[in-house]
Amino acid sequence: MNNQSMFEQAAPLLAELEKAGFAAYYVGGAVRDYLLDRPIGDVDIATAALPEEVKQIFPKTVDVGIEHGTVLVIWKGEGYEITTFRTESEYKDFRRPDKVSFVRTLEEDLQRRDFTMNAMAMDRFGTIIDPFNGREALKLGYIQTVGDANERFSEDALRMMRAARFASQLGFRLHEQTKEALSRCAPLLKHIAVERKLMEMNKLFAGRKAAEGLRVMLEGGLLAYLPGLCGQEKLVEQMLAYDLSRLTASQKWLLLLVLLTPDKPLDWLKAWRMPAKKIKHIAGTYEWSLKQRLCGWSDLALYEAGVERAVDAEAVNALLCGRSASLEELRERHNALPIRDRKELAVTGQELKAWKNETGGPWMKSYLERIERAVVEKTVENDPEKIKEWLEACNLL
């Protein structure tokens, strides 16, 4: 669905709110991305109606964040978050406001937002409301806080990483005052939970201009407050010398790990509180990256690594070695292997026990590994009778 269709589909909700006597607008990232002609993820709506009033207007609602003024409205099978105009008081732990107060005017609501490009609204007819010159920021390509930058970063220290993330996603630079405040407020980032930092780092690495985002963090002194990156500024700067646009987000994590070469890669990844599955993938790929740096991929290495690890390791190694990456060729070779997983092996432990007329034991694992290797290297065909004949020829039966 294109951007225009998304707004048109949500327009009846604004009309219903207005019909009930309440102002309502599209707000935030959807408006920003619409003006930039970027794909919109979802449409957020802000209104003068209180949560209880929103629930009276629409028959199907869910209290997803009603204490902060947000109600999920189900409209023609789609969910839309509608949030009451609000202001926020003192922030505790440099992340969450102590108190949220509902207000009736749009400008008060927009004033609490992080950056001017995110502090715009649009009515259902397409008129842009821009009290803080967000359109000018989009036109000039800079990231500027709403009001005093020191206050915005002191309220929510994660906004500093959001600034770096937007630099990555949009290729924008920081407004000078915002840049200066970021450097001053960088120590506040130590109050932010690692999980929140990881979320922003993942989004930064997924951006098309990840190098710009990393440069914001490097120049702003944010690295000192990120897991495993304190004192590693030179290595991160080294990372900026490579064309990061060639890598996926996961591959950028791998490149960072390869450049840092920590004594305990697993512990380094765990410090970021990554999901166990992602830690396992990156750590395993890291080992293959080191093994295959200076040699080509044999069929056995490709099989043992698995296609995803092989592709990620090859992408990073090719970048480091200044050569083109043969990623599609690796995928095609992996698809052409006689087997791609041990489960595809034509024999099982039960058949081995019958052939050898022995009970199970450690020997079975050794046999299966030898058969697996022989099949992958095409020494023997993946057929039970052929494998049995091969074992007999090797004096293993």
Does pLDDT of 341 surpass 70? yes
Nearest Cα to 254, choosing from 217, 290, 222, 295? Answer: 290
- Amino acid at site 151: E
Task: For residue 311, name the pLDDT band (cuts at 50, 70, 90).
Answer: very high
Torsion of CA 193, 197, 200, 202, to 10 degrees: -120
* Strand order through the sheet with 128-129: 61-65, 70-75, 78-84, 44-47, 24-27, 121-122, 128-129
Outline where DSSP puts E strands in the chain: 24-27, 44-47, 61-65, 70-75, 78-84, 86-88, 91-92, 96-97, 100-102, 121-122, 128-129, 142-143, 173-174
Residue 131 to residues 26, 109, 113, Cα–Cα distance (Å):
15, 11, 12
pLDDT in tens, 116-152: 999 999 999 999 999 999 999 999 999 999 999 999 9
* Residue pair 112/91 in contact by the 8 Å Cβ criterion: no
pLDDT, position 360: 83
Does pLDDT of 91 surpass 60? no
pLDDT, position 94: 55
Averaged pLDDT of the chain:
94
Percent of the chain with pLDDT over 70: 97
Whose tokens are 């190694």? That residue is 317
* Residue pair 118/126 in contact by the 8 Å Cβ criterion: no
Grouping H, G, I as helix, E, B as strand and the rest as coil, residue 293 is coil
Eight-class DSSP state of 128: E
* Residue pair 220/159 in contact by the 8 Å Cβ criterion: no
Does pLDDT of 81 surpass 70? yes
How many Å separate Cα 354 from the centre of its chain? Answer: 50
pLDDT, position 64: 86
Task: Return the structure tokens found at 65.
Answer: 């964040």
pLDDT, position 163: 98
pLDDT, position 74: 95
* Residue pair 85/105 in contact by the 8 Å Cβ criterion: yes
pLDDT in tens, 202-216: 999 999 999 999 999
pTM of the model: 0.89
Cα separation, 219 vs 209, in Å, equals 16
Grouping H, G, I as helix, E, B as strand and the rest as coil, residue 156 is coil
Report, as an integer, the average pLDDT of 262-269: 96
In this structure, the number of other CB atoms found within 10 A of the CB of residue 315 comes to 24
